[in-house]
């Protein structure tokens, strides 16, 4: 019923994931693995390649450092949901109901985010897990526009009509936002709150991610901002302001930031600046100025 599609660079991680799936998914499945240690393909290429070989109607594109912590049989939650929701596009575990025109990742203001995930982050050299759940409407599946790529379910039909964009995203970033945005033009995307995945690594948001982000926002500039539910102009403006602030803040924190990126972020922020975010930026601006003097 489910074809799991994995890009692997660590045999031990892949073996542990396969063991976890065999023990918990509870439905007929296969695990398709691309060993990327030598090939070095981008994720879009890997996922398209393996999806073309899949023999089940439901596909799951996931990172090899994901484990599922729900009771055995959780796969039926997904197969039943898709059977009862023909409009469903992509289902994941972290996403947002609004994607801003301003450069950002999948997230925005907390009230529009929907998350169900045990996420590990590096703190002081320790890899610590924290349960992140945001589901204010207490739904089993929440509508969203964009999704994080740690784990993405889609029917083979949906993938076939919305293949991952290998040309625009030859690396390992933004393929997920692009895929979910593309599918959201004609389908309904969701975050699943009834199955709990554990993700053992945080994202990487350095220069390769920023290159992908630039390409994504250029590709979709005529369609953004985009929301899955009706939002007022003021609500969308709030998301633009928040994401402009957050993007600039993160760049100011990076001592290796490319200056052209910083200049673009300042321009975007000035278009949406508020007194509240001006105040929040002050310590980051001071720290960045001190670093430049060293």
Q: Which helix (H) or strand (E) holds 215?
A: helix 207-219
Same domain? For 39 and 140 the reply is yes
Same domain? For 240 and 166 the reply is no
Same domain? For 225 and 251 the reply is no
Same domain? For 84 and 125 the reply is yes
pLDDT over 80 (residue 292): no
How many other CB atoms are there within 10 angstroms of residue 6's CB atom?
24
The span from the CA of 92 to the CA of 145, in Å, is: 11
The span from the CA of 147 to the CA of 92, in Å, is: 6
The span from the CA of 26 to the CA of 275, in Å, is: 52
Domain boundary among 179, 197, 230: 230
Closest CA to 91 of 227, 189, 179: 189
Domain boundary among 187, 208, 230: 230
pLDDT tens string 122-140: 654 456 789 999 999 999 9
What's 225's DSSP letter? S
pLDDT class for 203, splitting at 50, 70, 90?
A: confident
Same domain? For 20 and 159 the reply is yes
Which range is least confidently modeled, 125-129, 132-136, 233-237, 277-281? 125-129
Structure confidence at residue 123 (pLDDT): 53
Same domain? For 248 and 171 the reply is no
Identify the CATH number of the domain in which residue 137 sits: 3.90.550.10
User: Percent of the chain scored above 70 by pLDDT?
Assistant: 98
pLDDT tens string 5-29: 999 999 999 999 999 999 999 999 9
The span from the CA of 29 to the CA of 193, in Å, is: 21
Same domain? For 210 and 284 the reply is no
Same domain? For 217 and 254 the reply is no
Residue 240 tokens read as: 């633009």
Same domain? For 254 and 129 the reply is no
Structure confidence at residue 127 (pLDDT): 62
Q: Is residue 99 within 8 Å of 147, Cβ to Cβ?
A: no
Mean pLDDT of the chain: 95
Same domain? For 29 and 175 the reply is yes
Same domain? For 287 and 187 the reply is no
Same domain? For 145 and 236 the reply is no
| E strands, 111-175, in order | 113-123, 126-134, 141-144, 146-147, 151-155
> How many domains would you assign to the chain?
2
Domain boundary among 180, 195, 230: 230
Domain limits at 118? Answer: 2-230
* Average pLDDT estimate for 248-269: 94
* Average pLDDT estimate for 246-270: 94
Which range is least confidently modeled, 71-75, 89-93, 125-129, 269-273? 125-129
Q: Is residue 90 within 8 Å of 175, Cβ to Cβ?
A: no
């Amino acid at each position: 019923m489910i074809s799991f599609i994995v890009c692997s660079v660590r045999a031990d991680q892949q073996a542990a994931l396969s063991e976890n799936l065999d023990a918990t998914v509870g439905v007929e499945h296969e695990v398709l693995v691309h060993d990327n240690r030598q090939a070095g393909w981008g994720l879009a290429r890997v996922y398209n390649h393996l999806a073309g070989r899949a023999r089940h109607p439901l596909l799951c594109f996931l990172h090899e450092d994901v484990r599922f912590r729900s009771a055995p049989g959780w796969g039926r939650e997904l197969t039943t949901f898709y059977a009862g929701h023909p409009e469903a596009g992509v289902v994941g575990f972290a996403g947002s109901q609004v994607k801003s025109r301003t450069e950002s990742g999948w997230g925005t203001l907390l009230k529009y985010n929907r998350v169900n995930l045990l996420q590990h982050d590096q703190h002081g050299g320790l890899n610590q897990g924290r349960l992140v759940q945001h589901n204010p409407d207490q739904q089993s599946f929440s509508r969203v526009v964009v999704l994080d790529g740690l784990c993405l379910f889609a029917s083979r039909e949906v993938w076939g009509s919305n293949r991952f964009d290998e040309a625009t995203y030859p690396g390992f970033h933004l393929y997920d936002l692009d895929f979910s945005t593309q599918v959201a033009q004609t389908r309904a995307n969701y975050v699943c709150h009834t199955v709990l995945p554990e993700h053992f690594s945080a994202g990487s948001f350095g220069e390769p991610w920023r290159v992908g982000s630039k390409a994504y926002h250029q590709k979709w500039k005529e369609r953004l901002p985009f929301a899955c539910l009706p939002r007022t102009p003021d609500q969308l403006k709030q998301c633009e302001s928040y994401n402009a602030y957050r993007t600039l803040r993160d760049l100011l924190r990076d001592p290796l930031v490319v200056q052209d990126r910083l200049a673009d972020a300042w321009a975007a922020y000035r278009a949406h600046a508020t007194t509240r975010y001006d105040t929040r930026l002050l310590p980051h601006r001071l720290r960045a100025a001190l670093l430049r003097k060293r």
